Amino acid sequence: MGFQQHGNREVGLSGIALGSKNEYKRMHSELPEGDDDVLQQEARRKSTRKYVIACATFASLNNVLLGYDVGVMSGAVIFIKEDLKISEVKEEFLVGILSIVSLLGSLGGGRTSDIIGRKWTMAIAAVIFQMGSLIMTLAPSFSILMIGRLFAGVGIGFGGLIAPIYIAEISPNTSRGFLTTFPEIFINLGILLGYVSNYAFSGFSAHINWRIMLAVGILPSVFIGFALFIIPESPRWLVMQNRIEEARSVLLKTNDSDSEVEERLAEIQQAAGLANCEEYEQKPVWYELLFPSPSLRRMMITGIGIQCFQQISGIDATVYYSPEIFKAAGIEDNAKLLAATVAVGVTKTLFILVAIFLVDKKGRRPLLFVSTIGMTICLFSIGASLSLFPQGSFVIALAILLVCGNVAFFSVGLGPVCWVLTSEIFPLRLRAQASSLGAVGNRVCSGLVAMSFLSVSRAITVAGAFFVFAAISSLAIVFVYMLVPETKGKSLEQIELMFKNEHERQGGEMELADVEVEQLVQNKTILTK
């Protein structure tokens, strides 16, 4: 009770920092006694920050593949229809099947990562996606193209699930939200690259251009091979394998002080159940997920619910079918359609930067509220503009503006924070497989939206479809208000304790307020250096 840790300094009850640059000088000393220690701590803090950012960056490379596929397919499908003479139903199936199949990768990814580790699961994801991209590039028919989509979907399912979990497990508490947004950043970067690829290669013949577009998607996965020689295994997975010294070695590289390392290691060991193995051995993971405790049930409702709302609010329809939206507004030329989608990709990528720098400062809930409210307004306005005004330059400009606004609000909150939350809230021994259920919900909803948008828009018009998305987005606001807790600044183990008592969400934040203040100060230091 006498002292608190503040960054790498101890803080007494009086609030005076001990061991800082302003410490008292001894009567006969020329230099403060702690200067060398302070310099060493500062050097270690900078080194730690660079190392963790590098790990998060390399772990997120698989997400470029998912983003690229989403972006490139929105334009490539225009030329695939022309080259392979496929119907509108086949077009929907081609676009949406990747999300449906990726749920197989998500389901398998959780269990695989528990067996062979987070790092090597990411490697498997890259290899499977490469195979799929190569098959799609060389596909002579729609059937072979679909086989390639199946492989690509499984690879994306593996990679999209594991990256946020790995980053959350390796990150310091104070910058976990910041770092766990990296996968969403890379998804947005991939979408933008896909849009640019569409525009760049649209001038080739219809038989060649879409193949080049899909082939470019192979390149990011090559860099993932190099990443495996740089990033370490998750310390929490190592503890689960009882490889304590290896876990300590990783924590020494990702935390600012030795005392913090030992504290984190003790928390992880306790969460992993090493102190009471018999209790955990009685209940297999699948049993706990099928018959969850009240606290785990709340975690699953929150995690799976936010994943589903991310997709059923229509973001994939907006991204995959933005050319269709702009056609409904009045754009007819393919080159102009693809140029407009580039503007959407640029907006979606730029606004993710807002989430990066605010998620650990303002918290998860405020960003989710801003995001869902903004999306609801934009989605309703898209429907209103397409239904109330005739096609023309005004509606085209308004449609582009509102679609960009929708993806901007999505990138500020619901896009990145969804993955941050699901990588944080589940207990260690259940985290990978529970998160995989959330990812399955995400992929199923994504596939249903992508595979039905054209049919629904033909039945009730494009405007009507966006009115439906607006209604769903408004429900997401209520869901966030009722069921999503604030996890900012808390360790993964503290978040688990928050769910143990249904009244602890409000009280728990008050009890841990001193910890949050301390960690926000550290996070500000990390982001401003």
DSSP for 474-514, written as a single string? HHHHHHHHHHPPP-TT--HHHHHHHTTSTTHHHHHHHHTHH
- Read off the pLDDT of each residue in 356-377 and give the average, rounded to a whole number: 89
CATH topology of domain 44-231: Growth Hormone; Chain: A; (1.20.1250)
pLDDT given at position 507 = 40
Q: What's the CATH fold of domain 293-489?
A: Growth Hormone; Chain: A; (1.20.1250)
Q: Please provide the average confidence, as pLDDT, over all residues in the chain.
A: 78
Q: Which two tokens stand for residue 468?
A: 């439906």
d(CA 15, CA 517): 13
Lowest mean pLDDT, pick from 17-26, 47-56, 341-350: 17-26
Cβ pair 512, 494 in contact under 8 A? yes
Residue that wins the pLDDT comparison between 89 and 278? 89
pLDDT 10s digits, 87-109: 878 887 887 787 778 777 777 77
Whether residue 22 has pLDDT greater than 60 = no
* Of the candidates 300, 316, 284, 267, the residue with the CA atom closest to the CA atom of residue 422: 300
Mean pLDDT of 22-31: 42
Q: Which CA distances in Å does 146 have to 12, 85, 151, 276, 409?
A: 64, 14, 9, 48, 33
pTM: 0.66
User: Phi, psi (5° rounding) for residue 12?
Assistant: -80, 175
Which of 63-67, 171-175, 296-300 holds the top average pLDDT? 296-300
pLDDT tens-digit map of 367-386: 999 999 999 999 999 999 88
328, HSE (Cβ side, Cα atoms, 13 Å): 27
Instruction: State what percent of residues in the chain have pLDDT above 70.
Output: 84
**How remote is the C-alpha of 176 from its chain's centroid?**
12
Residue 256: per-residue pLDDT: 77
d(CA 190, CA 180): 17
Q: What is the pLDDT of residue 487?
A: 80
Reported as a pLDDT band with limits 50, 70 and 90, residue 329 is: confident
Q: Given a cut of 70, is residue 524 above it in pLDDT?
A: no
Whole-angstrom distance, CA of residue 66 vs CA of residue 155: 9
Mean pLDDT of the 490-500 span: 74
Longest CA–CA separation in the chain, Å: 88
Q: How confident is the model at residue 470 (pLDDT cuts 50, 70, 90)?
A: very high
Q: What pLDDT score was predicted for residue 370?
A: 93
Read off the pLDDT band of 502 (50, 70, 90). low
Residue 153 has pLDDT above 60, yes or no: yes
Check pLDDT > 70 for residue 482.
yes
**Domains 44-231 and 293-489 agree in fold:** yes
Segments making up each domain of the chain, as ranges: 44-231, 293-489
Asked which of 95-104, 237-246, 340-349, 516-525 is least confident by mean pLDDT, the reply is: 516-525
Compute the average pLDDT of residues 425-436.
77
pLDDT tier, 529 (very low <50, low <70, confident <90, very high otherwise): very low
Is residue 5 over pLDDT 70? Answer: no
Report the DSSP pairing between strands 9-12 and 17-18: antiparallel
Cα angle for residues 169, 417, 173 (degrees, 5° grid): 35
H or E segment and range at residue 5: strand 3-6
**pLDDT over 80 (residue 393):** yes
Per-residue pLDDT, averaged over 32-45, amounts to 69
> Is residue 472 predicted with pLDDT exceeding 70?
yes
- Give the residue among 134, 156, 135 at the shortest CA–CA distance from 144: 135
Q: What is the mean pLDDT of residues 301-324?
A: 86
Lowest mean pLDDT segment, chosen from 66-70, 80-84, 421-425, 519-523 = 519-523
pLDDT value of residue 221:
67
Rounded mean pLDDT of 132-139? 88
Asked whether the predicted pLDDT for residue 223 surpasses 90, the reply is no
Q: Give the C-alpha separation, 134 to 218, whole Å.
A: 7
The yes-or-no verdict on residue 505 having pLDDT over 70 is: no
Short-list 321, 307, 338, CA closest to 456:
321
Query: pLDDT-based confidence at 468, cuts 50/70/90?
Result: very high
pLDDT of 501 above 70: no
- pLDDT for position 474: 94
Average pLDDT over residues 388-412: 88
